[in-house]
Amino acid sequence: MIYLTKKYAQNVCYLELSRPDKKNALNKEMILQLIDYLEKTQNSEQFRVLVILGKGRFFSAGADLEWMKEAKDQNEEENMADANLFNKLYRSMAEYPKPIVACVEGGAYGGALGLLACSDVVIATPEIFFRFSETSIGLIPATVAPWIVRKTGPSFARATLISGLPFSATDALNNGLVHYLYSQDKIIPKTREIANQIAGNSPVATKETKILMNRIDRQFVPIDEELTQYCSTKIAQARISKEGQEGVSAFFEKRKPTWNN
C-alpha cells in the first residue's frame, strides 16, 4: 500500500499522510515511506519547501496501536528495530535540508506530535486538541520525548508527557509547538501562502540557516545515539510489558484497563 500522496506547485511539495480510515495513524509502512521520501528528495530541485498534512483534514492519530499490539509476538531485536524507526524518522525530518511546514487539522496525538516538533513551521486550527496518550494505555512516549523537550522546553514537555492530558492549540502556540493559528476556512490558503513565501527565499541561505539552527539546538538538547537508543529501549520494553499489552487491548475492547478496576 502507498500511504503518501504528493502534489507539487510553485516550488512546494504537498505531502499528504494517507490512511484516512485510521485517522492517518503511523504504521511501519507509512514511516518507512516517509523516511524513504525524505532521503531521496534531500537534493531534489523539483521543490524547495515540503508541506506535510493529513488526508481528510485530520493530521494523525499517532502510532498505529494495531502495530503496537503485534509487539507481543516479536522478539527483542524486532521490537528495537520498530522503536528505532521513529528515531530515524524524527532525525530525518530535523536534519532535512529543506524547510518543513506542518499543516495540522483535526488533531495530532502521541508520535504524530514528533512530526510537529521536527518541522520548522507548524500551522494549526485553533479548535483542535493535542495529546500524548501513551501513559493512559501503559506505553511510554519515549522516542518522541527528546524532540518535544527540544521544541517546547522541559516544563511543558514534562506536564504533557507525564499527565497524558489533552492540551489546546493555544497551549501549543504559547509553548512553541505551534507557530500560527488560522481558522479552518483559512488554514489551507494561509499554508500555501507561507510555503510560497519561504520557497521564494534564497535556497542556499535557507538551507544554511536550517543547518545553523540545528547546530544551536544541539547545544541545548543534544539528541545523540546514546539517548536515542535509551529511548528506543524504553518503548520496546513497554510494548511487550504486561501493562502495555493490557492497555492496548483495553483500548480496542473499549473498556477500562485492569489497573483502573
Grid cell, residue 142, equals 519515549
Per-residue model confidence as pLDDT tens digits over 61-119: 999 988 888 877 777 788 899 989 999 999 999 999 999 999 999 999 999 999 999 99
Q: How far apart (Å, rounded) are the C-alpha atoms in residues 140 and 121?
A: 26
For the question of whether the overall pTM of this predicted structure is more than 0.85, the answer is yes
Is 16 within a domain? yes
Higher pLDDT, 252 or 75: 252
Query: Which residues constitute the domain of residue 63?
Result: 4-199
The pLDDT assigned to 46 comes to 96
Q: What would the grid cell of residue 85 be? A: 524507526
**pLDDT band at 198, cuts 50/70/90?**
very high
Residue 112 lies in a domain: yes
Residue 116 and residue 108 in contact, taking contact as beta carbons nearer than 8 Å: yes
Distance CA 248, CA 235 (A): 13
How many Å apart are CA 89 and CA 104, to the nearest integer?
Answer: 18
Q: Tens of pLDDT along 215-229?
A: 999 999 999 999 999
Position 74 scores a pLDDT of: 79
Residue 25 has pLDDT above 90, yes or no: yes
Across the chain, mean pLDDT equals 95
What does the pLDDT read at residue 71? Answer: 75
Residue 80 in any domain: the answer is yes
Between residues 67 and 194, which one has the greater pLDDT? Answer: 194
Could you give the C-alpha distances from 110 to 10, 116, 182, 202, 260, in angstroms and in order? 32, 11, 22, 34, 21
In a domain, 151, yes or no: yes
- What's the confidence (pLDDT) of residue 261? 78
Q: What is the pLDDT of residue 62?
A: 96
Query: Residue 72: what pLDDT?
Result: 72
- Please give the single-letter amino acid code of residue 62: G
Mean pLDDT, residues 238-251: 91
In a 3-state reduction of DSSP, which class is residue 4?
strand
How far apart are the C-alpha atoms of 169 and 108, rounded to whole Å? 10
For 112-141, what is each residue's pLDDT tens digit?
999 999 999 999 999 999 999 999 999 999
Q: Is pLDDT above 90 for 208? A: yes
pLDDT score at 130: 98
- Give the integer Cα–Cα distance in Å for 218 and 80: 24
Residue 14 sits in a domain of what CATH number?
A: 3.90.226.10
In a domain, 244, yes or no: no
The answer to whether residue 243 is domain-embedded is no
Nearest residue to 163 via CA among 133, 208, 137, 190: 133
148 with 159: CB under 8 angstroms?
no
Query: What is the distance of C-alpha 31 from the center of its chain?
Result: 10
Residue 171's pLDDT is 98
Q: Number of folded domains in the chain?
A: 1
- pLDDT of 199 over the 80 cut: yes
The closest of 61, 53, 33 to 119, measured between CA atoms, is 53
The C-alpha cell that represents 222 in the structure block: 543534544
pLDDT given for residue 42 in this prediction: 96
